[in-house]
A and B are shown apart, each in its own frame.
Chain A
């Protein structure tokens, strides 16, 4: 006897099928993000040829997010407040700027006895516990559940604290744009901070970040943390190479694998403003977070002292 299909069971079955189809058609890395796992990018820097395709793709994908400052800028007090204006230098690609969120760093080093030029895409590391996010006084910087940290340009005041506390000093400021103009432009704030947001809107749509999508050499791989860490270690073992980003600042969601030690690379690259280093980085949030454990015992200590005093008083009364 044929089973009768009710309207409800038809709709239920159809919905389930649609969900399954949607889940299976979504790329593996994107479904990992939907499962609240942190996404990590692995950069095999042996593959990078320094073509800057990632730099161009980043710029194209994020043009709408770039600042359009109003000029002249409001006079700021006191005079020591620096005006940071990159709006007339939008084409600069040899460092990080508010209009350039990834750039190619180069280093001439010896690999297997041969002098070789290594090129490395540099951008935000997307730390597991990002100080730029955690120490932002307004909550303008935020971390998404997939591990992407991004700055909300609608509420950022441009105080540049995120840059100061970032171990790599990644965010860059543009004056003359943002919320501060509507509050006290002369006395508080100084624009908006900008940095790589890992094309969070594209990831939400199941698409790859622009720099990964466009790379002709497949330098970058993106995926769930566990998998990418395994891949990074396997690759490092295979090439007898070195890893950067796994442990730095307590762990980041950007892992570089290099055939030469990062200490050597760090010496060879040009460092400075908008040009991050490759130095070892201790967990910047660890000291305060360790102290947080003591906070749990603080009320116990306070109450215990009062109870002790109460007990002593009752004893004396007796």
Chain B
């Protein structure tokens, strides 16, 4: 019975993991697409990637994937608080990556507010938001790569279940 629970949990973790990776991949692609680099560096010439040089398309897609990221992040946090807190422990690398994701969400939401017609953020703050958003994603991607290479997990079981329990 416990084996079935463990397998179900493991499958769910895989789904969450791959969904998160797909969202981050598209967010990074459409996010970097906000800079005029994909046309310059021939990325948009790759068949099927012509859309990455279309600013309004990447802008809209960035919003779509940002919504998915917020849904997933809030779901994982709420699930941890309500259900998994006693069973699993977030690792240091998990806390670091989590903080980076939350930083990205906060700066991203502020940039979304900036894009509304009635917004009136000071110019210096907007420059800070743009650079902070870019800086955070660069650090997150590097941290993610480091954790994949060294097989660092976001969280681990608080205790190992003994056989037959």
CB of B42 within 8 A of chain A?
yes
Please determine whether B115 and A288 come into contact, CB atoms closer than 8 angstroms: yes
Q: How many residues of A contact B (CB 8 A)?
A: 43
Please determine whether B41 and A78 come into contact, CB atoms closer than 8 angstroms: yes
CB of B47 within 8 A of chain A?
no
**In the complex, how many angstroms separate the beta carbon of B130 from the nearest chain A beta carbon?**
5
How many A-B Cβ pairs are below 8 Å?
Answer: 118
Please determine whether B63 and A288 come into contact, CB atoms closer than 8 angstroms: yes
Given contacts A137-B34, A155-B127, A288-B115, contact A306 B83 (CB under 8 A): yes
Write the chain B residue with the least CB distance to A165.
B55
Kindly identify, within residues 274 to 313 of chain A, every residue whose CB is under 8 Å from any CB belonging to chain B.
Answer: 284-285, 287-289, 291-292, 294-295, 298-303, 305-307, 309-310, 313
Please determine whether A160 and B36 come into contact, CB atoms closer than 8 angstroms: yes
Q: Which residues of chain A come closer than 8 Å to B56, judged between CB atoms?
A: 165, 284, 287-288
Q: Which residues of chain A come closer than 8 Å to B72, judged between CB atoms?
A: 302
Please determine whether A302 and B70 come into contact, CB atoms closer than 8 angstroms: yes
Please determine whether B67 and A298 come into contact, CB atoms closer than 8 angstroms: yes
CB of B59 within 8 A of chain A?
yes
Q: Which residues of chain A come closer than 8 Å to B63, judged between CB atoms?
A: 288, 291-292, 295
Please determine whether A299 and B71 come into contact, CB atoms closer than 8 angstroms: yes
Please determine whether B82 and A307 come into contact, CB atoms closer than 8 angstroms: yes
Please determine whether B126 and A288 come into contact, CB atoms closer than 8 angstroms: no
Give the interface centre of A139, A160, A305 by most chain B CB atoms within 10 Å: A139
Q: Give 1 or 0 for each of B79-99: 1 = CB within 8 Å of chain A CB.
A: 100110000000000000000
User: Which of A85-93, A109-117, A127-135 interfaces with chain B?
Assistant: A127-135
Q: Which residues of chain A come closer than 8 Å to B129, judged between CB atoms?
A: 139
CB of B25 within 8 A of chain A?
no
* Chain A interface residues toward B at CB < 8 A: 78, 80-81, 128-129, 134-135, 137-140, 142, 145, 152, 155, 159-161, 164-165, 188, 250, 284-285, 287-289, 291-292, 294-295, 298-303, 305-307, 309-310, 313
Task: Known pairs A129-B115, A289-B115, A302-B76; list 10 more (Cβ under 8 Å).
Answer: A139-B126, A161-B36, A250-B117, A284-B56, A292-B113, A299-B71, A302-B77, A303-B78, A306-B75, A310-B79
